[in-house]
Amino acid sequence: MRAYHFLDVETLELFTNGVTSVSTAQQLSIEQEDNEPKSEMRLTTLDFYRGFQKYVIVHERVKRKEGRAYGEDLLFTQYIESKSMNAYYNPQIKLLLIEGDKGGVNGFIKKFEKVFPNKFKVSRSQVDFQYVVEHSHNVWGGWISGFNNGTLRSVALFGDHVNLSEDYNRLEAAGKLSSLNCSLTFERKSYDFTITSNKTVVIMQTMTPEEDLDLLLHLKPILYKQLSHVM
C-alpha cells in the first residue's frame, strides 16, 4: 500500500538557476547547531512522466526512546529518525503528490514553509465524500468519528456497498466521515482505494510509479469535483 498526499501548490520556487537540492540545514545552521533535525528536497528527474517532475524528500524528526547505541557504551533517550519519500510535482496543474506517512509529510511541509516562506507554500482541500460515492462502483468501508457520545468516539464499517446499509447512514448522520474505502474502474480494471477527508489516497495494488500517476490523474477530477457524469 502506498499513501499519496494531494497538495495544491501556491508557491514552489526553490529550484531555479540550476539548483537541484535544497535543505533546511542551509538556513538552520546559521542560527542553530548542525545536529538539529533537517529536511531536504532533491530534484532527481526534471521530465519524469506526464508533466511531472520527480523529487526525493528526506525528512528528519526527533524520536524519544531510551536505548544504547550499537557498538558504543552510550545511552540515549532520543534519536533522529530519517524518512525518505518520493514526490512528484506538475507545474502545469500546480499539483504536488508526496508519497509517505501522515507524520512525515506534514512535518516536512511545516518545516519547509517555515524556513522558506516566500518560496514554498502548499495547501490541502477537503473531499466531498458524497461526490466520491456517486462516482464509485463499490463503497466497501468507511471510518466515522466525531460522535457527541461519551462512550462512542469512532467506528469503522466494512462490507460490499456498505453505504447502502441503515447502520452506515445512521452513523454518518450522527458523526463525521473521515475516510472512505471504495473501488473505481480505470481502463476496464477495478482498483481499491482508501481516500481521506484531506485528499490522501492509499493505493492497495502493487504498481510502478508511472502506473500510480496514471491512476491518480484519473482520480483527480473525482477528488476535485470536476466530473459531470457518473462513472
- Do 216 and 141 belong to one domain? yes
Picking from 23-27, 40-44, 75-79, which range would have the lowest pLDDT averaged per residue? 75-79
45 and 137 belong to one structural domain? no
Residue 230 is assigned to a structural domain of this protein: no
Q: What average pLDDT does this structure show over 139-161?
A: 89
| Among candidate residues 71, 89, 122, the one where a domain is terminated | 122
Reduced to 3 states (helix: H, G, I; strand: E, B; else coil), residue 193 is: strand
Give the structural domain span for 14: 2-122
Lowest mean pLDDT among 147-151, 153-157, 167-171: 147-151
Same domain, yes or no: 114 and 65? yes
The chain-wide mean pLDDT, for the chain, equals: 90
Question: Same domain for 145 and 186?
Answer: yes
Alpha helices in the chain (DSSP H): 25-31, 102-115, 129-134, 166-174, 209-223
- Asked whether residue 209 carries a pLDDT value surpassing 70, the answer given is yes
Q: Is there a domain that residue 52 lies in? A: yes
Q: Based on the domain organization, do 65 and 15 belong to the same domain?
A: yes
- Domain shared by 28 and 137, yes or no: no
Which of 29-43, 109-123, 129-143, 188-202 bottoms out in mean pLDDT, i.e. has the lowest?
A: 29-43
82 domain-assigned: yes
**Overall number of domains in the chain:** 2
**Is 229 domain-assigned?**
no
Show which of 122, 137, 163 is a domain's final residue: 122
Shared domain for 73 and 164, answered yes or no, is: no
User: Cβ distance 194 to 179 under 8 Å?
Assistant: yes
Residue 231 has pLDDT above 60, yes or no: no
CB 224 within 8 A of CB 60: no
Predicted structure pTM score = 0.89
Residue 231 counted as domain residue = no
With respect to residue 39, please indicate whether it lies within any of the assigned structural domains.
yes
Q: Residue 183 domain-assigned?
A: yes
What distance in Å separates the CA atoms of residue 181 and residue 39, rounded to the nearest whole number? 32
Backbone φ and ψ for 113, nearest 5 degrees, come out as -70, -30
Domain boundary among 122, 139, 161: 122
Same domain? For 162 and 90 the reply is no
The answer on 85 and 163 residing in a single domain is no
Same domain (yes/no): 49, 22: yes
| Least confident segment among 8-17, 60-69, 161-170, 197-206 | 60-69
- Work out the percent of the chain whose per-residue pLDDT is above 70: 93
Query: Are both 38 and 143 inside the same structural domain?
Result: no
Per-residue model confidence (pLDDT) at position 134? 92
94: its cell numbers: 500546480
Cβ atoms of 14 and 42 within 8 Å: the answer is no
Q: Same structural domain for residues 72 and 149?
A: no
Q: Provide the pLDDT confidence category of residue 179 given band limits of 50, 70 and 90.
A: very high
The pLDDT confidence band at residue 230, using thresholds 50, 70 and 90, is very low
Cα–Cα distance for residue pair 23/59, rounded to 1 Å: 10
